[in-house]
Each structure stands twice: as C-alpha cells, then as structure tokens.
Chain A
C-alpha cells in the first residue's frame, strides 16, 4: 500500500494537542454524538465544550450498530437516529463547531462513511472545516481507500490501539495515524468507570515506543481527578460517556443540561493541567 509520509501533511488535531502542551497541559478531547438530544442542542453543547476548554471536539455520527459503545452512548445515538439525524446533519455540525476554531474530528463506524463514499465524505468533511476522522471499527489493514482520501484532503486519521495490541500492530497503527493515536485504556466498551485501567500508562509508553508522535487516552474517564492522572503520561485525555450523560437530564431541561456539561468540562479542563 503506497503511503506518503503521514507527517508531511499538517495535522489540525496534532496542532491543538501541541498548543495544549505548550501551555503545560494535556489536550482535552470531548465527545458528543450529533443529534442528541436534537441536532441544534448537540451543536450548542459542542460549542459550549469548546468555550470551557475542550481542545479537540469529537462529533459522533450516530450509527444503528455501535459495537464499541456502552449503554450511555448506545441510548443517545439510538435517540438521535429515532429523531431523524442523518449524515448531512453531522457535516453541518462540523461546520458550526469548527467555526469556533477548535479542531473537530468525526467519530464514525465505517459503514456510514462507506455508504456516503469515502472520497466524497473526505471532500465534504474537509470543506466543512473538519480535521479528520476517528474510526473505531476500521483498522489500518482495511483502510486503503481512507488512507488515500485523507492524504488527498489533508485530514487526520485516528485509529485505535488496545491493551491487546501486539508490538507489531502498535507499530503499524502508529505509522498509519495522523494527529494522534487513540489508546483504549481498557479492554471493553465506552462508559464512565470508577478507575481507568492500569494498563493505560503501559499502553501509552508502548505506543510511543512503536513510533507514535502523540497518544491520547480514552474509555472510562469521567472526572477531573482521573483526567489529571492521565495527563501525567498522555498527550491528551478523551472523555465521552460522562459528557453525554450530562445531556440526559430526566427533566429534559436543555439549558440546565448544558450548564451541567459546562461544569464537567471545566472540572476536566482543570484536571488536564500538568
């Protein structure tokens, strides 16, 4: 597979992580699915996250079969789909959130991208001001078309590594990523946990040793104290389910939900200070 030097194309998410490092912090990467609880609120919530200190926004493209996600995100994306969220809404959300100046990645399972057309999605994502894609069920081995399209459109490509990844696979994945490598802290699905897996620190070290320029840690992070712990050894801290949960207020009060979200982001943003 012909693969130009990934470092030759500048990385928007990489630049955001480097800027955080320059001010003495790990980058804070925040995930929300587009369309939950509705498209406009999800966009407002993502913009609020940026205002409170999220460096890289991860916008989830809702998918009918989210095999890597735990209950909180499963429920949120199902609700988004039931309410009629489509791929075009995600591109609109990218445009409106990228207008804040934050690096915006789309997190998507592979089939919706394949269906849209890998080249066409890459073109439209770049045109919307998006930084790139995180692909939880696409491994570099199967990503030939995406490697080419992301090079052509200057997009970041974030693949995952896991505690079960062999040194050879860490090397292959690190070489294929642009922006950062997403290190899954634990063997499992998304969801806030009381403690982040002890294997996360080892995995970050092994991924760096395999050649990764930047490594961010996700899965299970839910508060500033956990973020602080991870910020000691990782380039960025990825938070998803805990943020989504703030938008699930039983009383359905959207404004209060975004208030809860802001408070959590503020806690996390202070946590990532080294």
Chain B
C-alpha cells in the first residue's frame, strides 16, 4: 500500500492553514507550486467574474437545487456502479467495480461539468458559450446544454479531430452549435483551446468559455473539479454499500484530468485508498508518440496554468499522441501535478495497444463498450489487480461509452474486412 500522504507543505500559496490537514479542502488558484493565471490581462476581469460567480453559486441553495434537479431528471444521476467479475477474472482475482459515467446523457462525465457552467453562464447574464473539444465529447455536452438553456454555442475543434470524429461534428450541428474547424498549429485540441481563448478575449462581454477539463487558468481547475466531484461522492458511498468497505484503489484515465479528479476527490482524505491515474502512453513513453504528461513531462506554463506538460528544451509545446482523441493533450490539470508531487496520487502510462486490449476484453466479457479513454483506466485496473492480489477492491471510473470509437476500434481490430476479433 502507498504511504500516508504527506500533509500540504506549510505556507504553500493558496493553502489555508486551517485546511492543511484536508487535501480535499485545497482549492485554487494554487495547488502547491502549480496552477495560477498565466493569461492576457484582457481576460482577468472575466476570470474574476467567473470566480466570484462560482463562489457564490456553489453555496447558493437555489443554484445547487437547480443543478441537482438536472442531474436527476436530465443526466440520469446518480450513475450506477457495476461489478464486472468476468473482466476481473483477468486481474488476478481482484474485485473490479465500474462507476458508470458512460450511462450519462451524452455518453460521458462531461455533462456534469457542462450543466453547471451553462447554469452559471445564465446566472452572469451571458448569452453565448464557446468550448474546445478533442474527441467531441465535451463539445457535444456543451452543445447539448446550450440547446437546453437557449444559449448560442460555438465549438472549436482541431481540423485533424473533425476528421477523426466526424460523427460528433454532425451531432453538435444537430444540436444547433456552430463547429469551427481549427487549422492553426498542430490542428488538434491544444490549438482548439488557443482559438477558443482568442474568441473569448474578443467577445468576452457576451460570451462565457465553458472549459472542458481541470486545466486552464484559475478558476477553471477548481470549478470543473467542484462540478465533477459528484462522481467520487456517489461512488464512495456505493462501494461502501456494496462491499462494506472502501476500495483499495481508484483508477481513472488522465488527459486534462477531469474524470480522474472527479472520482479521486472524495477519497483524497482516505489515506488507505490508492489513487492511480493512467495517462496515454501512445506508442510507448520511450518514443516521442505519447501523451504521458506527468510520467515524462516537465513543469511549465500551458493554456494559462503552471503544471506538467510536454515541451522541448526551448519551452515549445510538443505534439502529443494517443489513439484516444480525448487523452491526446500535452498538458494536465495543476491539481494532478500537485497530487503527483506530494505523492498522494500516482500516474502511470498505458499504451494504445494495452488500452485496446482492455477495450476488447470489456466488450467480450461484460457486454460494455467503453470509450477508448476509459479503456486506459481498465487496462490499468488489470495491472493493479495483479499487484494488489485476490479480494482487493478496485474502483474504475468508466468515464464514457465507446459508441464514438467504433470506427477507430474497427480499424484497430481489422473488423472491416470480415476477419473479426479473436478472443
């Protein structure tokens, strides 16, 4: 088992002395030396507005009730947990329990965050939302919330990704959003974020930026975390009810890190529970083609926050690679960098091949097609199970469903010429 987490370093910026005992009480702008606001001055007023609005809203019973109502009647919360014994048979006898965020409306955990931010947009009197998207999950969720709440919506998506995820582009357009194909830089998620920030700085009076993950400038890492932590709050109780105890480990995939922080957060102050984030190892962390930011990156500033990132010796952002578009990002949220640095959470790479093997296994053994992102956490759980041994309990965040990934999987497994998958 992992050691007791060290307490927060004394005097670390942003850490209240009274909160030093509770890791879960730590909130932005800084998580240890990570986080902050590295943004153009033009955006500071909007970030301050958002910060103040979120601080007020999250403690406002009216806002909380409205969000809770949406969760119950629109998203389908609480999401269930599912124990998967046939899958777990490949994990050394451990018990594996999935938190089924894949069953949420729109197909992933992204809706949790988006509904909160869309309500907040209305609350601050703005009429237009913008968002970045990689795989399209956050874009679809944002377009959905915008349709529901009658907000104008523009989604920025790298040209590369609009081709890889054409179906999600159509889905967003069906929901009434404008999808802008971003042709600058590497034409992927990081460039979509740059373009969304450019839109925001230009249209900030009418527009709110609905950021999709726990990265970016303060208050996004804290606000998105606050909106996603319902995953862990529910799951912690559900696992207690099912097994009578806390899990030995919690596993989640980490791109920017919102589903991971969402399920980790409720366990931060349970030192006996190991928290393990699985990053996209792509073709291997010994190759240049991966997105394992914490495993092999270094500290730097990207998209408004100081965190680990993939960069070259001159501080230029390096291109990441993953079979999973949702993990294909060269940065990571600052709270994860901090949890890694203080040793409370561990982060390990999972290769494309390992993730796809776990993807196949869950399909065949349990009849659940996971998102390829989530398959990284499943692959990690197989390894953890063998490490922790029989009767250990591992909670996995199944952050999304795999409908969007059928084309990628069909290509990977060579299903299109009739050969099929061999079990």
Of B15-23, B31-39, B372-380, the stretch lying at the interface with chain A is B31-39
Interface size class of B (residues with CB under 8 A): 20 to 34
- Report B217 CB to chain A, min CB distance, Å: 10
Q: How far is the CA of A112 from the CA of B45 in the complex (A)?
A: 25
Q: Is the CB of B185 within 8 A of A111?
A: no
Interface centre among A74, A111, A166, A173 (most CB of B within 10 A): A111
- Decide yes or no whether A137 CB sits under 8 A from chain B: yes
Q: Is the CB of B39 within 8 A of A64?
A: no
Residue of A110, A114, A173, A189 touching B41 (CB-CB under 8 A): A173
- Decide yes or no whether A5 CB sits under 8 A from chain B: no
- Decide yes or no whether B316 CB sits under 8 A from chain A: yes
Residue of B38, B45, B316 touching A138 (CB-CB under 8 A): B38
Residue of B194, B205, B313 touching A115 (CB-CB under 8 A): B313
Decide: A137 near B300, CB < 8 A? Known: A81-B316, A115-B314, A189-B202. Answer: no
- Decide yes or no whether B359 CB sits under 8 A from chain A: no
Interface centre among B45, B300, B301 (most CB of A within 10 A): B301
- Report B288 CB to chain A, min CB distance, Å: 15
Residue of B191, B201, B315 touching A188 (CB-CB under 8 A): B201
- Decide yes or no whether A87 CB sits under 8 A from chain B: yes
- Decide yes or no whether B243 CB sits under 8 A from chain A: no
Q: Is the CB of A165 within 8 A of B302?
A: no
Interface centre among A64, A112, A136 (most CB of B within 10 A): A64
Interface residues of A in 107-121 (CB under 8 A from B): 110-116
Q: Mark B38-74, 1 if CB is under 8 A from A, else 0.
A: 1111111110000000000000000000000000000
Residues of B within 8 A of A113 (CB): 315
Q: How far is the CA of A75 from the CA of B45 in the complex (A)?
A: 29
List the B residue with the shortest CB-CB distance to A86. B314
- Decide yes or no whether A139 CB sits under 8 A from chain B: yes
Q: Is the CB of B40 within 8 A of A162?
A: yes
Q: Is the CB of B315 within 8 A of A160?
A: no
Q: How far is the CA of A141 from the CA of B44 in the complex (A)?
A: 11
Interface residues of A in 195-240 (CB under 8 A from B): none
List the B residue with the shortest CB-CB distance to A186. B202
- Report B283 CB to chain A, min CB distance, Å: 21
Q: Is the CB of A161 within 8 A of B204?
A: no
- Report A157 CB to chain B, min CB distance, Å: 13
Q: How far is the CA of A128 from the CA of B131 in the complex (A)?
A: 42
Q: Is the CB of A66 within 8 A of B40?
A: no
Interface size class of A (residues with CB under 8 A): 35 or more
Interface residues of B in 192-244 (CB under 8 A from A): 194, 197-198, 201-205
Residues of A within 8 A of B7 (CB): none
Q: Mark B288-320, 1 if CB is under 8 A from A, else 0.
A: 000000000000111110000001011111000
Decide: A142 near B204, CB < 8 A? Known: A64-B316, A161-B41. Answer: no
Q: Is the CB of A116 within 8 A of B39?
A: no
- Report A104 CB to chain B, min CB distance, Å: 20
Q: Is the CB of A142 within 8 A of B317?
A: no
List the A residue with the shortest CB-CB distance to B184. A74
Decide: A142 near B36, CB < 8 A? Known: A165-B41, A173-B41. Answer: yes
- Decide yes or no whether A159 CB sits under 8 A from chain B: yes
List the B residue with the shortest CB-CB distance to A141. B37
Decide: A160 near B41, CB < 8 A? Known: A65-B303, A81-B316, A115-B315. Answer: yes
Interface residues of B in 174-194 (CB under 8 A from A): 184-185, 190-191, 194
Q: Mark A138-155, 1 if CB is under 8 A from B, else 0.
A: 110110000000000000
Those 5 A-B pairs whose CB atoms lie nearest each other, nearest first: A115-B315, A162-B42, A112-B315, A164-B45, A188-B202
Q: 23 A-B Cβ contacts within 8 A?
A: A65-B185, A65-B194, A65-B317, A68-B201, A71-B184, A78-B184, A81-B316, A110-B38, A111-B315, A111-B317, A116-B314, A136-B40, A137-B39, A139-B38, A142-B38, A160-B40, A162-B41, A164-B44, A165-B44, A169-B41, A187-B201, A188-B198, A189-B202
Report which B residues bind A (CB closer than 8 A).
36-46, 184-185, 190-191, 194, 197-198, 201-205, 300-304, 311, 313-317
Report which A residues bind B (CB closer than 8 A).
63-68, 70-71, 74-75, 78, 81, 86-87, 110-116, 136-139, 141-142, 159-166, 169, 173, 184, 187-189
Q: A67-B40, A187-B205 are in contact. List 5 more A-B contacts (CB 8 A).
A: A65-B317, A67-B194, A74-B185, A141-B37, A188-B198
